[in-house]
Structures are given as structure tokens and as C-alpha cells.
Amino acid sequence: MALSTHWLSHITAWQHSGLSQEAYCRQHQLAKSTFLARLPEYRAQAKSVSQEPPVL
């Protein structure tokens, strides 16, 4: 299942924010446990995208 755009945008924003996961979640009123549960989905999705062969 693909990661929702909601979580995709939050994880991307967190990575560029310079904040800790805890600080980002607190600032955006997100449950840290839910945020942490989405990270493996994000990583799996990013890995599958990077392993796709180029289209010619």
C-alpha cells in the first residue's frame, strides 16, 4: 500500500526541518507513535522507487 500524501509530505518536511522527530511531531500535533510507524513505509516506498529501472 502506498504511503498517503499526508504522511509523505510530513516525513519529507521533517527531514528538511532540522528538528528531531519528537520536536517535529509536537510542533505539528502529530502522534509520535504514528509518525514512527509510517517511517518504514516511507523507506520501503523510497527504496522501491530508487530500484526501478530507467525507462527508455
Specify the pLDDT at position 45. 85
Alpha-carbon span 33 to 56, nearest angstrom: 41
Each residue's pLDDT, cut to its tens digit, for the chain (56 residues) gives: 577 899 999 999 999 999 999 999 999 999 999 999 999 999 888 887 666 666 66
Asked if 8 contacts 42 with a C-beta cutoff of 8 angstroms, the reply is yes
DSSP 8-state symbol, 29? T
- Grid cell of 32 as nine digits: 509520535
pTM: predicted TM-score of the whole model, two decimal places: 0.77
Specify the pLDDT at position 4. 87
Alpha-carbon span 12 to 35, nearest angstrom: 12
Sign of the dihedral defined by the CA atoms of residues 7, 27, 17, 32, in that order: negative
Specify the pLDDT at position 38. 94
